Structure 1
Amino acid sequence: MSSEGAPDGNFIASAGPLTVNLGGKGKVEDHMAAATELHFKSAAELARMIQSREISSRELLEHFIARTVLHNPKINAIVASDFDAAREKALAADEALARGEVWGPLHGLPMTIKDAYEVKGLTSTGGSPEYEDHVPERSAAPVERIEKAGANIFGKTNVPFLSGDLQTFNDVYGTTNNPWNLACGPGGSSGGSAAALAAGLTGLEIGSDIGGSIRTPAHLCGVFGHKSTFGIIPKRGHISPPPGHLAEGDLSVAGPLGRSAEDLDLLLSIVAGPDEIASEGWKLDLAPARATSPKNLRVAVWIDDPFCDIDTESAALLNNAAKALEDAGAKVDWSARPDFTLEWSNEVYLTLLHSITASRFPETVKQRLSDMRAKLPADDRSHLSLQARGANISYADRLVWHEHQARLKAAWVDFFRDYDVVLAPMLMRPAFPHDQQSNWHKRRIAVNGKEREYFDVLIWAGPAMVAHLPASVAPVGLTSEGLPVGVQIIGPHFGDRTTIAVAGMLEELLGGFRAPPGF
C-alpha cells in the first residue's frame, strides 16, 4: 500500500485504506469539472480518445485519481496504489504518442488490477495478512500482457481472503461495499474490480473465476464480465496458490470486466493465448462469433429450474432480455435444456470444487471434514455433505468425477449443435446485505421471502464452470429497489466471441451499463 509524499501545494486526501496524492493545486472537484462523464465511458472509447489525442493519458489518470479520492472511501474498492509511478508512465505515454509511437491497444489507459494478481512493484496480498508486505518482482502472466499492451496500472482492487468467498472482505483491507447499496456486498471474489468499474474509479479490470468470481460481481454491480473458456488465459502469478507457484488448477480461469461488451472483447484479445511453455507448440485461434445480430442467433432460455428458485423480479428481467432478442429476430427456445439436470451438474461441480479449495484448509479442518464424511448417509446430497466428500476425495475417486465432468462436456457439445447460447441466471437474486460469519454453513440468503443455504450462491456458477465453457454477464435492468441484474450467457467450448457478441446485442437492445446514483 502506498504512502506518498506531498510536494508544496499538492492536495492530500485519505481514501479508506489508501493514501493518495492529488498532483496540482485545488479541490478534488476541480480535477473533474472539465470531463464529468469520462469515468463512465468504456475502456475501448477511452483508449481511442487517448490515441486520437482528445485527452492525454495524464489528464485521464488525474481524473480517475480524483474520482478515487472522492468516492473510494464509501466503497473501499481500490486498496493499494502507486500514483507517482502511474503519473510517470502517463507522461511517458503522452510523450511517446507525440512522437508517433503507440505502445499497444491500451496505450496510456489508466486501470486497476484485482489484488489476486501479482503486479510488479505493487503490494499484492491476495487478501491474506500473510502476504501483507508482498511486493512482487514480476507481474502475473495476464498482467504482463496488459502492461505490454500499454496500460497504466495505478492500483489494486479488493478481494476476499485468498479469493475464497462471494463477498469481498479481508483482514488486510476490510470490506468493499456495493455502489448501488452500501449495505450490500459487490460480490466476490472480483468484488473490488466490479465495484470500482461501477463507481467510475477505473478504466478496465481483469478478474478470476472458479465459483462465479467474475460473473457474480458483474451481475451484482451492473457491469460486464466474462469467464473465459478454461485454459486460454494463463494464470501464473495468481494468489492463491502462494506466490511462486507455477501449477494451475483445473477449474479456475481469468477473464475481463468492463463497462461494455467491447471492453470484454478488447481485453480478451490481449490476455488470451498459450503460456510460455506451450507457446512454442500451439497458438490460440478463437472462432468468430456464431452470430453478429439477433436475426442469425439461436437462443435457449434456462431461467426457471425446480432445483433453484429465482427471485421473481430478477426472473422477469432475465425473461425480458430473452424477449428483447426474440423481438429483434432471434430464434428463442423457452424450454430447451441440455441432457442432464442442474442438480447433477451442481453435484459434479461442487465435488470437484471442494477437492480444490480444501487443499488450503488447515489440517484440523480437513480432519473434521473427514470425520464428518465417515458418518454421512450415502444419499446425503447437502452442501455440507458435498464439501466433506470433496475435501477428502481420493485420486481414484477424482478420476471417476472427471469422467462425470467429461460426460457433462459431451452433453453440452450435443446441445450447442442446435443452439448458439443459453441465457441463464448468474445468482438467484440481486445484491444482498453483508454477512461475514466465518462459518458459511450458518449464513443464509433470502430468495422470494424464504431463506436458503448460502452455498446456493454457487449453483448457477456451476454449469459453465464444470464444463469449462465460456460465459459472459451483461446488465439487463434494475429491480424496483434499484439494484442491477445481469444475465449469464453460456456458449460452446471456445465460443468466447459468441457469448461476448450476445452481450453486445443485449447492450444495444437494453441500454447496457448504468451509473449508480451518487457516483
Structure 2
Amino acid sequence: MSILYRSAFGLAQDIKAGKLSAVTVLEFYLDRVEQFNSAINAVVALDTDRALARAVAADKAVAENEDWGPLHGVPMTIKDAWCTEGLVTVGGIPEHKDFIPEKNAIAVQRLVDAGAIIFGKTNVPFMSADLQSFNEIYDVTNNPWNVERTCGGSSGGAAAALASGLTPLELGSDIGGSIRTPSHFNGVFGHKSSYELITKRGHLPPGDHVLSEPDLSCAGPLATCVDDLEQALALLAGPAPDITAHPLPALPTPSFRDASHLRVAVWADDDFCPVDTAIAEHIESAAKTLENLGAHVNRSARPSIDPQANHENYLQLLMSTIGGNTPDEVQQMAREIVAAADPDDRSEALLQMRGIAMDHKGWMVQNEIRQHTRVAWEAFFRDYDVLLCPCTHVPAFEHDHHPDMQARVISVNGVERPYTDVLKWAGLTLNAYLPATAVPLGTTADGLPVGMQISSRYLGDRTTLAVARLLETHHRAFVPPPGYND
C-alpha cells in the first residue's frame, strides 16, 4: 500500500485497521530523509531510536485493540521553533544548539496525545525572524522545486519537507507570513489560524517558560491536503490549559452552504506592493473556477483601509513584539536612531527602529490604529465570505543572506523592490488577527510553485478551509516537485 504523499490521518486509519504498520511507515519516512534530505537540508535533527520504540508500541497497541487517537502511529516532523521533549530545539539560535527541552510545547503535546510520533525537526531562520530558512547551526534549506531558490521561512524546512515527501504533516507558526509564504514557495497547503486560536506556549521565541502569548504570532498546520489541515486544526485549537488563558468560542461552521452561496472578493494586485504577473494570473484563474461553480465574485471590493498605512502599523507592532526579545543595547540604539530621525520619515528601516524602540504608550497608539482596521475588516466580511489575495508578491527567489535585510532586493516583473515587501501581503490579513489558508494554484513558466491565501473574518477558519477544499477538488490539488514522486 502506498505511503508517499498520503493523508496523515488516512495513514492513521490504515495503521489502526492493521493495513499498515507504524514501524513500516516510520521506516519509509526515515528512508526518504536519507535519500532526499541531503539536497534540501529540510530535516535537521532526528530522534530515530525513540521514534522506533514508539512505533513498536503503536503497533502493539493496535494488536491489543487500543486506539491512541486520530494520528495513531503516524510519524511526523516538527518545525524547530517548537519545544520537543528530549529532542534538541535550536530555533536557529546558536546559544541553543544543545538545548533539549524537558517537555513538549502544548501544541506539540496535543499531536502526541492524538497518537503522533515525532521523529525529527525541520529548519528555521535565526529566531524564526526571516522569510528564508538558514542559520549558523544547521545552514541553508533549499527549495525542492529548485535548490537555487529559497524554501521560505520561517516554516521553510517544514514546507520543504512536506513537498519532498519527508513527512506527512507539520506544525508551523506565523508572525510575518511564516506559514503562508513557505506554503506558496513549495506548493503545499498551510493554515494560519485566527490569533490565539492555537496556543504558542512552548514556542522559541519567546521561550519554553514564557506564559504570555506574543502579539500577532499565530500557529497552524501544514499538509499536502485540506483534509489534514482541517483535522489537525481540530486537534490543535484551544488555549493553554491554565488560568492564564481565556477560552475562545467554538469555531462557527462555514459561512456559506455551497458554492452558489459563496461571496468572494479578489485582491490579486495593488500598487502598494506590485505582484508578479504569474501570481496575479493564477489568483484570477482560481477566482474564475469558483465563479464557474456558482460563486459570486467581486474583483474590485476592498475593505475601507489604506494597505500601506496598514503595513506601517503592522511593521511597528511586529518589531515591537520582536524587539521584546532583543538585548537592552539594541533597544537603546533604536531609541537613539528614532530620536535623531525626521518625525515624518516613513522608511522601512526607520519604521522597524520605531517598533523596537516603542514604549507602552506608543504601543497603545499603534494598537488603537490596529483595532480600527479590525473593525473595517469585520464590516467587509459582512458582505463577503472570503478574500483571495497573494501570500506574497513573488515566487521563490534566489538565496540572499546579506546580513542587512535593507540591502536585499527582489525583482518583481523586472523591477527591483525592497526585500521587506515580502511582509506586505502577509501583514495585510495578519495584522487584523484574521485566519488565512494557503493553497497551491499551479506553477510559473519556469516551474516554480504559485499559491495564494484565502482569508475570512476573525474565527472564520472553517470558512477559509471550506473554500480551500473547493479549490483542491475543482482547481488544483497538491502536486509533488519533479523527481520526488518515486
Return the alpha-carbon distance in structure 2 between the equivalents of residues 435 and 368 of structure 1.
26
RMSD, aligned CA: 1.4
Task: Check if 1:66 corresponds to 2:31.
Answer: yes
1:497 alignment partner, one of 462, 473, 477? 462
Return the alpha-carbon distance in structure 2 between the equivalents of residues 195 and 507 of structure 1.
20
Aligned to 1:480: 445
Aligned to 1:147: 112
Conserved 8 A contact 1:293-1:505: no
Aligned to 1:401: 366
Return the alpha-carbon distance in structure 1 between the equivalents of residues 245 and 315 of structure 2.
35
Return the alpha-carbon distance in structure 2 between the equivalents of residues 279 and 54 of structure 1.
43
Aligned to 1:185: 150
2:18 alignment partner, one of 53, 60, 84? 53
Conserved 8 A contact 1:373-1:385: yes
Paired residue type of 1:141: I
Return the alpha-carbon distance in structure 2 between the equivalents of residues 53 and 380 of structure 1.
65
Task: Check if 1:466 corresponds to 2:466.
Answer: no
Task: Check if 1:313 corresponds to 2:251.
Answer: no
SS of corresponding position for 1:220: helix
Paired residue type of 2:180: R
Deviation at 1:318, TM superposition (A): 1.0
Paired residue type of 1:98: A
Return the alpha-carbon distance in structure 2 between the equivalents of residues 440 and 304 of structure 1.
24
Conserved 8 A contact 1:477-1:510: no
Deviation at 1:509, TM superposition (A): 1.3
Aligned to 1:29: none
Return the alpha-carbon distance in structure 1 between the equivalents of residues 78 and 253 of structure 2.
28
Task: Check if 1:130 corresponds to 2:59.
Answer: no
Aligned to 1:85: 50
Aligned to 2:394: 429
Deviation at 1:283, TM superposition (A): 5.7
Task: Check if 1:237 corresponds to 2:198.
Answer: no
Aligned length: 484
Aligned to 1:162: 127
Return the alpha-carbon distance in structure 2 between the equivalents of residues 289 and 501 of structure 1.
7
1:440 alignment partner, one of 395, 401, 405? 405
2:301 alignment partner, one of 314, 320, 336? 336
Task: Check if 1:324 corresponds to 2:289.
Answer: yes
Return the alpha-carbon distance in structure 2 between the equivalents of residues 52 and 341 of structure 1.
54
Task: Structure 1: give runs of 5+ residues left out of the alignment.
Answer: 1-34
Deviation at 1:64, TM superposition (A): 0.5
Conserved 8 A contact 1:273-1:284: no
Deviation at 1:132, TM superposition (A): 0.9
Return the alpha-carbon distance in structure 2 between the equivalents of residues 292 and 484 of structure 1.
31
Task: Structure 2: give runs of 5+ residues left out of the alignment.
Answer: none
Task: Check if 1:206 corresponds to 2:177.
Answer: no
Deviation at 1:280, TM superposition (A): 9.0
Deviation at 1:55, TM superposition (A): 1.2
Conserved 8 A contact 1:297-1:330: yes
Conserved 8 A contact 2:269-2:275: yes
Return the alpha-carbon distance in structure 2 between the equivalents of residues 51 and 292 of structure 1.
33
Conserved 8 A contact 1:43-1:259: no
Conserved 8 A contact 2:201-2:208: no
Task: Check if 1:412 corresponds to 2:381.
Answer: no
Task: Check if 1:261 corresponds to 2:226.
Answer: yes
Q: Deviations over 1:338-377 (max 9, x none)?
A: 0012111111101100111122334443333323212332
TM, length-normalised to structure 2: 0.97
Q: Deviations over 1:291-336 (max 9, x none)?
A: 3532221100011212110001111111101111111111101100
Deviation at 1:278, TM superposition (A): 4.5
Return the alpha-carbon distance in structure 2 between the equivalents of residues 386 and 161 of structure 1.
21
| 1:20-31 to 2 correspondences below 5 Å | none
SS of corresponding position for 1:398: helix
Return the alpha-carbon distance in structure 2 between the equivalents of residues 215 and 452 of structure 1.
20
Conserved 8 A contact 1:272-1:284: no
- Between 44-53 and 183-192, report the one with greater CA deviation: 44-53
SS of corresponding position for 2:172: strand
SS of corresponding position for 1:240: coil
Return the alpha-carbon distance in structure 1 between the equivalents of residues 130 and 320 of structure 2.
16
Aligned to 2:79: 114
Deviation at 1:44, TM superposition (A): 2.7
Return the alpha-carbon distance in structure 1 between the equivalents of residues 401 and 57 of structure 2.
43
SS of corresponding position for 1:436: coil
SS of corresponding position for 1:116: coil
Deviation at 1:196, TM superposition (A): 0.3
Paired residue type of 2:267: W
SS of corresponding position for 1:38: coil
SS of corresponding position for 1:196: helix
Return the alpha-carbon distance in structure 2 between the equivalents of residues 288 and 343 of structure 1.
32
Paired residue type of 1:217: P
Q: Deviations over 1:228-257 (max 9, x none)?
A: 111111111100113322222111011110
Conserved 8 A contact 1:116-1:163: yes
Distance 1:410 1:171, change over 3 A: same
Return the alpha-carbon distance in structure 2 between the equivalents of residues 280 and 408 of structure 1.
25
Deviation at 1:389, TM superposition (A): 1.3
- Between 355-364 and 213-222, report the one with greater CA deviation: 355-364
Return the alpha-carbon distance in structure 2 between the equivalents of residues 53 and 336 of structure 1.
51
Conserved 8 A contact 2:81-2:205: yes
Task: Check if 1:171 corresponds to 2:140.
Answer: no
Task: Check if 1:349 corresponds to 2:310.
Answer: no
Q: Deviations over 1:46-76 (max 9, x none)?
A: 2222223221111111110110000000000
Distance 1:342 1:419, change over 3 A: same
Distance 1:191 1:395, change over 3 A: same
Return the alpha-carbon distance in structure 1 between the equivalents of residues 349 and 435 of structure 2.
28
Paired residue type of 2:165: G
TM, length-normalised to structure 1: 0.91
Paired residue type of 1:320: S
Distance 1:54 1:162, change over 3 A: same
| 1:92-103 to 2 correspondences below 5 Å | 92-103=57-68
Deviation at 1:398, TM superposition (A): 1.0
Return the alpha-carbon distance in structure 2 between the equivalents of residues 187 and 283 of structure 1.
31
Paired residue type of 1:285: A
Return the alpha-carbon distance in structure 1 between the equivalents of residues 252 and 51 of structure 2.
36
